[in-house]
Each structure stands twice: as structure tokens, then as C-alpha cells.
Amino acid sequence: MPRHDFLRHIVNTKLSEYSKTHRHLIPVLDEVRKLIANAEDQYGFSIYGGKLENLAKYLNSSDFDLVINILKSANALDILEDILGTIVEKYSDTEVVVDAARKRLEEIRKGLIRVSELKVIADKLTKQLKNARIRLFEDRVVVEYNGLYASIEPSKNQYKVIVKLSIDKIFENYVDATKLIENIYKVIA
């Protein structure tokens, strides 16, 4: 059994090191950590009860593309190169994983990674908002769910967010009705 777990011994270690020297990237690195932790459950590549070979499936997946796009949009692909290089080094006896890591490294180094900020936003929202309808347009991402309409329109160094909410609900008492309004107010205030 390999002695290095991808999430615990490689990803978490590398992201912790980079968060000390790249403090401005901490929210991005935290997001990457969450995505990879979720992928560990989905793909089963932990050395603790999973199969390391499944890490190759993850590295070749659209789920890993999201990690690439997030780091690319933050100009932090060097962090991913470091993680992939560590995979090649630590898992040298697992050919399928090494091949997948080398393939991704080559794509990064040859500039074959194309990032669409809107696609990153849409992918993130799709993963987080399971029952919502997410639509990607040329200039915006739209979310629709149960009376909620929201759009995000990126422009130079800012994001215009439009939210429209329509709730038609009957409450048995005014306490619950006012609590809903208070909670909505807390979110937008």
C-alpha cells in the first residue's frame, strides 16, 4: 500500500505551504481543497479504503478540469504543477496514475489549458446548487430555482450580481413569517 494519501499527504500539505506564502490565494486554495475532498468520496482514491488507481480517473475528469480552471483563473497553475509533480514522484509504482499526472502536466506546460471564467462559475454553482437550473450564456451565468432568479455578469475586476426572489408561502404564525424576512435581510444586508 502506498504511504502517501493524495488528499492528506500531498494536497493538504502543498496547499498549506502555499497558503503561507500566497495569503491572497487562501480562499482559492480552500475551494480547491474542498473540491478534491469531495472528489475523494466520489472517485474513491483514498489509500484508506479506496483504490489509488481511481486517482487517474479523477485526474482525467471534468471534475479535475474545474480545479485546473479555478487555479488558472487565479494565476496559480504553478501550485497545481507542484502537486502533479509530487504525484509523479510519490506514486512512481502506479503507472496509470503517473501517466494521468504527466498528461495534465504537459497540458499545463504547453498552454493547452483554456479557462472560461463563466464556465468556472457555472461549474461551481452546478456542484453547489444541486436542484437549481444553471444556464451559461456568453456574458453571464443564470441561476433559477423555486422563485429565485440570479445572474452573475463578470466585467473587469468586478462582478455584477442581480437577484430576484419571489416567495409565495403561507405561515401559520407571524413569528415564522418574520423569521423568513429577517433571514433574507441578513443575507442581503
Interval 46-99: pLDDT, tens: 988 889 999 999 999 988 988 998 888 888 999 999 999 999 999 999 999 999
The grid cell for 86 is: 509530487
Tell me the CA distances in angstroms from 22 to 12, 56, 85, one per residue in order.
15, 28, 19
For residues 164 and 38, give the distance between their C-alpha atoms in angstroms, rounded to a whole number. 30
Choice between 88 and 155, residue whose per-residue pLDDT is larger: 88
Closest by CA to 131, choosing from 148, 118, 117, 116, is 148
Return the domain boundaries, the chain: 6-109, 117-188
Q: 102-115, pLDDT tens digit by residue?
A: 999 998 888 776 65
Between 84-88, 117-121, 169-173, the lowest mean confidence (pLDDT) is in 117-121
| Average pLDDT score over the chain | 89
The alpha carbon dihedral of 28, 58, 140, 114 has a sign of positive
Cβ atoms of residues 131 and 114 within 8 Å: no
pLDDT number for residue 147: 82
pLDDT number for residue 114: 61
Choice between 160 and 54, residue whose per-residue pLDDT is larger: 54
Q: Which pTM value belongs to this model?
A: 0.66
Give exposure, 59-74, as e/b (b: 16+ Cβ within 10 Å): beeebbbbbbbbbbbb
